[in-house]
Amino acid sequence: MAKKYLLCRQEKDNWCLPACLESVLKSRGFFISQSQISEKLVVNNGCDLSVGLLDKFLKEYNLKCRFSNPNLDYESDLVLKEELNDKNDVLVAYNYQELHKIRNSVGKHISIVQEYNSLSDEVRLIDPSRENAVNVQLIDLNNAILYRLDSRYGFYIIN
């Protein structure tokens, strides 16, 4: 069964991380705005995505973050089978252009993984840049994670 999230559409073009964190925190009963989240995570005019910074931010809510790059650690399907549960929230950082085959759009992007169907090998993402959730094939998501071998692309598990 898929975990329920309130879709928080990103308020600014580069606020996918604050929007995802707003959704995750609201699902856990914490209410903080994207602008408040952004203030705490902004580095060099953009939200910095690092396990250390996320972990530091999440401590205030008694939460922790760990990172798994399926291309370095183990297969994506195992990450999703083992980590996607009621206790964890899973964010995924990937290349938006590669996943959706849309050129002239954002590159680095973050979404919430809501569900993984191992029978169809489909992943349901809550994408803060869209009005609704989207289903993608796991192989396409893996390719978007592998894109240009960005070491920050992968799964951020929050618990």
pLDDT digits (tens, 9 = 90+) for 34-65: 999 988 886 555 556 788 889 999 999 999 99
58 vs 73: CA distance, rounded Å: 23
Structure tokens at 33: 């705005």
pLDDT tens string 109-135: 999 999 999 999 999 999 999 878 999
> Could you tell me the CATH superfamily of domain 16-158?
Phytochelatin synthase, N-terminal domain (3.90.70.30)
- Identify whether the C-beta of residue 153 lies closer than 8 Å to the C-beta of residue 95: yes
89 vs 155: CA distance, rounded Å: 10
Determine the pLDDT at residue 106.
64
Structure tokens at 124: 């349901």
Determine the pLDDT at residue 91.
96
The three-state secondary structure class of 49 is: coil
Between 76-83 and 138-146, two packed helices, what is the crossing angle to 10 degrees?
A: 110
Determine the pLDDT at residue 77.
83
Could you tell me the residue ranges of all domains in the chain? 16-158
Q: Model pTM? A: 0.92
Q: Which long-range contacts does 119-125 make (Cβ < 8 Å, 24+ apart)?
A: 121/77, 123/80, 124/2, 125/92
pLDDT tens string 53-100: 899 999 999 999 999 887 666 678 888 888 999 899 999 999 998 998
Determine the pLDDT at residue 3.
82
Backbone torsion region of residue 104, taken as left when φ is above 0, otherwise alpha when ψ lies between -120 and 50, otherwise beta = left
Band the pLDDT of 105: cuts 50, 70, 90: low
Question: Judging by beta carbons within 10 Å of its beta carbon (0-12, 13-18, 19+), is residue 149 exposed, middle or buried?
Answer: exposed
pLDDT over 60 at 154, yes or no = yes
